[in-house]
Structure 1
Amino acid sequence: MKRALHWFRRDLRLHDNTALRQAVDAAGKVIPVYVISDWKGEHRWTGPNRQEFLCRSLAELAGRIEQAGGKLIFRQGNAVRELALLAKETKAEAVYFNRDPDPFGREVEEELARVGETQGFAVVACKDACLHERNEVLTGSAEPYRVFTPYSRAWAKLPKDKPVAKVTRIRTPSGIRSEPRPTLETWRIKIDAEILPAGEEAARKRMTAFITSGLASYGAVRDRLDLGGTSRLSQDLRYGLISIRELFERCREKMETLPKEQRDNASKYVGELIWREFYQQILWHFPEVLEDSFNPRFRGMRWTDDPRAFERWCAGETGFPVVDAGMRQLAQTGFMHNRARMITAMFLTKDLHIDWREGESYFMRQLTDGDIASNNGGWQWSAGTGADAAPYFRIQNPWTQSARFDPDAVYIKQWVPELRDVPAEKLHAAPAPGLRISRNYPAPMVDHATERERALEMFAKYRDATATR
């Protein structure tokens, strides 16, 4: 084959990139291309933090490709149309790409295959974003799993693909028209959040640091808000700055060297990788979860419409210190600790009784690591409406959660500076009615015990519904 395109999507790297590796091996010359979708702006699934991270990652990718002897071509508009035009302009015989795990990519991929057949170029789609995707993990009756534990057992039994060699040389023909590389200025991005460094190099450094120093203690410290024991790799997996295969393989190799207790800690992280793929296959098989509850019993539930309460939650002004700390961390960094995500999500749905979809959309606009499947799965888990979700009657108490996972209030005081001089024990207990924890801090906007009972009553109305999927 003389020429082929590689369409970059959620795989912005040269290490262990399945489709790119195949394209380089198969074709004498490869045209790397990134299509800037017209689907930008203020809507449910986009946000400036993620756009900036993407913009910086693309800049680094373009530089890496140039160092390898190639050039990253940018096109803007409808992906299928632009790829077909580029294939025609360059006389490319094939378009290679890695499949997108989200259902939004399904129609695009199917349309590209039809256009390729008509126009006369091959379409080569590869598995890359997951270890096991789409229909690879099914029950004995060929149905998708709806419960995590049996899914994880089946997932663990399947063989895993090994990483492929890094692409070090790309030969791109000269004279190909390209749109300008997107910049923060051209995309009109201006953010206040202090997000993590973008690009493959920074992501690989984070991966190495976590595997070297964090994996062995992960299970013991992952829920502690004050210890920073999470991997911080979620945005890197979201954009494919690191490979899930390489991450899994390096974790496995590290675990073989650890004593049992540390190996058990490390296995908790592997469990999180499986949760990621569980939610991806839920979204693939049941795309309707983006619009309604996975559990049919809770469809049509009447939530509270309270814009002012939602605004206070978004701003981190609820009067519940651990909730406010999480929401302010999100606003200031584009990231929130996973335990805080559960606490804040459950507070919105169980204490304020606001629709989980409101919180889901807000998180997607703020999170640098915003992944549709994981975000939806996490929100429906917290709301008690999702696949293998927390039972609706399991309602976290924000006061006891902060005492357990931030005992010295280190996390709270970092993100809610007006409480820095308040003793930790005062931050883990509701003040007496009518009083405040601090003069400069709002009183709790609700009484947790009262709202817990109200939530139980609200969900109980639906628990005996006989609807079936």
Structure 2
Amino acid sequence: MRTIVLLFTRDLRVHDNPMLASACAVAERVVPLFVVDPAIRASPPRRRFLAESLADLRESLRRLGGDLLVREGAPAEVVAKVAAEAGTRQVALTSDVSAYAKAREKSLRDHGLEVRTFPGVTVVPAGKVLPSTGGDHYKVFTPYWRAWEAAPWRDPSEAPASIRLPDGFTGDDPRKVLGAAKTSPLMPGGEQAAQDRLDDWAPRSADYADLHDALAVDGTSRLSPYLHFGCVSPLALATDPRVPSAFVRQLCWRDFYHQVLAAFPKLATEAYRPNADDDWADDPEALEKWKAGETGVEVVDAGMRQLLAEGWMHNRARMITASYLTKTLGLDWRAGAAWFAERLLDADVANNCGNWQWTAGTGNDSKPYRRFNPVRQQARFDPDGDYVRRWLG
């Protein structure tokens, strides 16, 4: 194979990137490409994080002798044009399970391109682990966790030793294409930033099981945005000896919802449990107050203001705020999921909508009527009020 186009999507890294490693092993020349789809709305923080991640990826590729093309437009049309310029019909990309990803792959094939897909978004590919009792996916987490642990995992792939572009191809500055400047030292994008974050957290990770629910403590990894954009490999994390088993279990939850989405593509729009959707209340004013962190419930408002300020929210706060919206206010989980999707750096369809449905009682929770009392949650997970004071002043 002489030339292949590498379509980067949610795999913005050079280490343990099977698509990149495999293509560089079989092709004489490769064309690394990222397509900014104008149909996808992105908040300024997400656009900034993406621009930083692409800039970091470009630098890594250039150190290997390659570069990164960053173009804007309908993905299949852009890829087809770049492939034609490179004199090839071969395209590689990392497999994903969302409806958007599936439609993108189909569109590439419809444009006459020969597409090869590779793993890398999850530890275990969706559909690889199936229930022994039949069915196309696990509906309950615990049996999936057991099967997931016992399943064979692929070996992490090495970064290629070198990359060769076809003659005449040069890369693009992602920040110029995206119109985004680096503005946040708190959570910068990119593979190097992900590695720095992991190296900073790893010495403290032994306490993860005890501290990851404590709202005022920086006990979580904060790696979720890097996982979402693929700046870090979930398999590399799961096999890193520094990473505690409690965190590996969270990676399994991530895989769990990807296999749910693969089997139930309407996870973002329809209740997973048949006939589970309640008669949701219609209260636009209450919804807007919830979004702004102005409900009057301290821990709920603190979580929502952290989201607005950081583009990220502590996981315990996510459960509390989601339960308050759906179980206390009685508002539709889809409105909450849409707001999180707009504001969170790490929001993807599988985990965002899977967790929202779990909390709303329409999804995979075996106890769909559970609710999180915000007063009790605050007393338990922010007993000194440090988290609330941090965000409410």
- Are 2:187 and 1:196 aligned? yes
Q: Which amino acid aligns with 1:47?
A: S
Counterpart of 1:145?
138
User: Following TM superposition, by how much is the alpha carbon of 1:191 offset from its aligned partner in structure 2, in angstroms?
Assistant: 10
Counterpart of 2:381?
405
Task: Say if 2:36 and 2:73, in contact at 8 Å, map to a contact too.
Answer: yes
Q: 5 Å matches for 1:123-202?
A: 123-140=115-132, 141-176=134-169, 180-183=172-175, 187=178, 196-202=187-193
Tell me the distance in 2 between the aligned counterparts of 1:357 and 1:124. 34
Counterpart of 1:37?
37
Task: Say if 1:48 and 1:191, in contact at 8 Å, map to a contact too.
Answer: no
Task: Say if 1:29 and 1:170, in contact at 8 Å, map to a contact too.
Answer: yes
> Quick one: structure 1 residues 160 and 331, their matched pair in 2 at CA, closer, same or farther if it must change by over 3 Å?
same
User: Following TM superposition, by how much is the alpha carbon of 1:342 offset from its aligned partner in structure 2, in angstroms?
Assistant: 0.3
> Quick one: structure 1 residues 201 and 64, their matched pair in 2 at CA, closer, same or farther if it must change by over 3 Å?
same
Task: Say if 2:51 and 2:180, in contact at 8 Å, map to a contact too.
Answer: no
Q: 5 Å matches for 1:444-459?
A: none
- The correspondence for 1:395, drawn from 351, 371, 387, is 371
- Are 2:305 and 1:305 aligned? no
Counterpart of 1:91?
87
Give the structure-1-normalised TM-score: 0.79
- The correspondence for 2:263, drawn from 285, 302, 320, is 285
Task: Say if 2:208 and 2:220, in contact at 8 Å, map to a contact too.
Answer: yes
SS of match in other structure, 1:354:
coil
User: Following TM superposition, by how much is the alpha carbon of 1:192 offset from its aligned partner in structure 2, in angstroms?
Assistant: 8.8
SS of match in other structure, 1:97:
strand
Tell me the distance in 2 between the aligned counterparts of 1:128 and 1:157. 19
Q: What's the Cα RMSD here?
A: 2.0
Q: Which amino acid aligns with 2:221?
A: S
> Quick one: structure 1 residues 129 and 170, their matched pair in 2 at CA, closer, same or farther if it must change by over 3 Å?
same
Task: Say if 1:194 and 1:333, in contact at 8 Å, map to a contact too.
Answer: no
How many percent of aligned residue pairs carry the same amino acid?
Answer: 40
SS of match in other structure, 2:149:
helix
Task: Say if 1:276 and 1:374, in contact at 8 Å, map to a contact too.
Answer: yes
User: Following TM superposition, by how much is the alpha carbon of 1:186 offset from its aligned partner in structure 2, in angstroms?
Assistant: 5.4
Q: 1:422-458 deviations in whole A, cap 9, x for unaligned?
A: xxxxxxxxxxxxxxxxxxxxxxxxxxxxxxxxxxxxx
Structure 1 portions without partners, runs of 5+ = 256-265, 418-469
Q: Which amino acid aligns with 1:282?
A: V
- The correspondence for 1:324, drawn from 301, 315, 321, is 301
Structure 2 portions without partners, runs of 5+ = none
SS of match in other structure, 1:95:
strand
> Quick one: structure 1 residues 235 and 272, their matched pair in 2 at CA, closer, same or farther if it must change by over 3 Å?
same
Q: 5 Å matches for 1:169-318?
A: 169-176=162-169, 180-183=172-175, 187=178, 196-214=187-205, 216-250=206-240, 253-254=241-242, 266-299=244-277, 301-318=278-295
Tell me the distance in 1 between the aligned counterparts of 2:179 and 2:168. 28
Tell me the distance in 2 between the aligned counterparts of 1:309 and 1:125. 44
> Quick one: structure 1 residues 245 and 52, their matched pair in 2 at CA, closer, same or farther if it must change by over 3 Å?
same
User: Following TM superposition, by how much is the alpha carbon of 1:229 offset from its aligned partner in structure 2, in angstroms?
Assistant: 0.9
SS of match in other structure, 1:327:
helix
- The correspondence for 2:323, drawn from 336, 339, 346, is 346
Tell me the distance in 1 between the aligned counterparts of 2:189 and 2:99. 26
Tell me the distance in 2 between the aligned counterparts of 1:302 and 1:63. 51
Q: Which amino acid aligns with 1:254?
A: R
Counterpart of 2:10?
10
SS of match in other structure, 2:239:
helix
